[in-house]
Amino acid sequence: MSNSQKYTPNTSATSHIPVRQNDFNHQAHDALNDGQLRTNFRRAMDGLIAKRTAQFPDSDDLEARRLHAEAIRQRCLNKLPQLLEQLESNLKANGIKVHWAETAEQACEIIYGISECHQAKSMIKGKSMVSEEIELNHFMAERGIDCLESDMGEYIVQLAEEKPSHIIMPAIHKNAVEVAKLFEDKIPDHSYTEDIDELIQTGRRELRKAFFNADIGLSGVNFMVAETGTLCLVENEGNGRMSTHVPPVHVAVTGIEKVVEFLSDVPPLYHLLTRSATGQPITTYFNMISGPRGENEKDGPKEVHLVLLDNGRSQAYADAQMRKTLQCIRCGACMNHCPVYSRIGGHAYKTVYPGPIGKIISPHMMGLEQTKDLPSASTLCGACGDVCPVKIPIPSLLQRLRIELKRVVSSNDPQQVNMKGAGAGYNAIEARVWKIFSWIYSSRYRYKMLSWMASRFGKLLPNIGPVAVWSKVRSKPVPANKTLHQLMEQRSRQASGQSNGSDK
């Protein structure tokens, strides 16, 4: 691109990157063979883990805070229908217009409708993963409205025509050299530099003009307070405040689970959110939006809208165990500590929410048919559950999703039908194998017979099917010559013999 050309964000249909699960195994394989990607993620994850650890020096204090935060989230989720009604009532009393969207398409239609009413041609966006979830940029571009990301990480991935690879730091997969080349190629009159401060200032200068020219400002929401009808926004760069403050119309979009009952519920969650996410005791900005510009006020938007999105969250809410998925406050700590995510990055998942939290929330949004590889893309080491600030039992939820994936779906069982895509991973041969396994292990005689045969003839195990897949990168499993029981009996006999010898 010539430096004299003005850059326009490419959100046309040809640049559209569909958020759909396809072949996780191949995507993960490609990511593992990308040495630069692995280096970038390893460095970034190590830094984030160290910063978080430094913020929680007292393990007893941390555990007490996690228990408190878990109790707040569970109390609010248990009252979710009532709190949403209370929130809507108080938001309307504050002058904020409330919209409900059951699906991603409905949410996009609502936001487009608001834009049409104001004859909008441009939108400036603060960071919003829900807007990524509904693929708003692409939807609006098809209708002639340009969306520009103002969060620096989101701005970088938009320039690169990519999706975010992390829910807190969207461009964490790129290093300074890659960003420097990107800015040189895409930003007019910008010369190559790897100086981080200069790169940031360049991005800010470009965005500053856009804030004042935008017809609509869009943002996400971290917490919605039912008691007061307040929208809370946590950020570091000030772009969230600019997006919600400068354009004449502000549209906030978020999931229905973000509501809390009282204003006093926010500080304990905020305390854990910032420390778990970026290792900061507090973020630079904490915005509380309680309505549009007042009659005698000189700044602020003239209209404020809130779009509340379901998109599969009701499915999780309807199940007592799965409901814990909705406790998430989107800190990303589970991703930073995940041995799978830290090696393959976020793009391999092909979902808006990657990593451990993505594996348990995406099946509700997209169905298990499109996400059937995700529940198994985990070592179940438990690191994600150990660091979650609101104590979401991610490993046990992954195990539940694995069961749902392999379940034989019956139309007579409403619980089974409730899970979208349940049974998508059912395999008749695999089910038969597990039945045989159960039949053998339910009888001590059959179990002893199998053990005896495995210890004698296990070396003859053919290198085909799952064994061939396993042995591609590992040694072929060979049963021991003796079972554990036989080894223990042998050990007991030897110990007894030694004891008798010493007595003599």
Rounded distance, CA 111 to CA 250, Å? 11
- pLDDT confidence of residue 371: 94
In this structure, are residues 423 and 408 in contact, taking their beta carbons and an 8 Å threshold? yes
Q: 3-class secondary structure for 284-311?
A: CEEEEECCCCCCCCCCCCCEEEEEEECC
- Judged against a pLDDT cut of 70, whether residue 308 lies above it is answered with yes
Average pLDDT rounded to a whole number, residues 225-243? 95
Query: What mean pLDDT comes out for the span 473-493?
Result: 86
Q: Which residue is listed with tokens 């969250």?
A: 313
For residue 258, the one-letter residue type is K
Query: What does the pLDDT look like over 18-63, one tens digit per residue?
Result: 444 458 889 999 999 999 999 999 999 999 999 999 999 999 999 9
The pTM (predicted TM-score) of the whole model is: 0.86
pLDDT in tens, 97-132: 999 999 999 999 999 999 999 999 999 999 999 999
Give the whole-angstrom CA distance, residue 383 versus residue 381. 6
CB of 239 within 8 A of CB of 204?
no
Residue 217's pLDDT is 97
Indicate where the chain has its CATH 3.40.50.10420 domain(s).
58-316
Topology, domain 58-316: Rossmann fold (3.40.50)
Q: 10 Å Cβ neighbour count for 283?
A: 18
Check residue 409 and give its pLDDT.
76
pLDDT at 383 over 50: yes
Distance CA 150, CA 56 (A): 31
Q: What is the pLDDT of residue 415?
A: 54
Contacts of 225 (CB under 8 A, 6+ apart): 87, 231, 232, 259, 260, 262, 263, 265, 266
* Rg of the Cα atoms in the chain: 27
Helix and strand element counts for the chain (H, E): 23, 10
Burial class (CB in 10 A: 0-12, 13-18, 19+), 126: buried
Sequence-distant (6+) residues with CB within 8 A of 379 are 339, 340
Average pLDDT score over the chain = 91
Phi, psi angles (nearest 5°) of residue 223: -140, 140
Q: Look at 64-73, 78-87, 383-392, 448-457 and tell me which has the smallest mean pLDDT.
A: 448-457
pLDDT surpasses 60 at 7? no
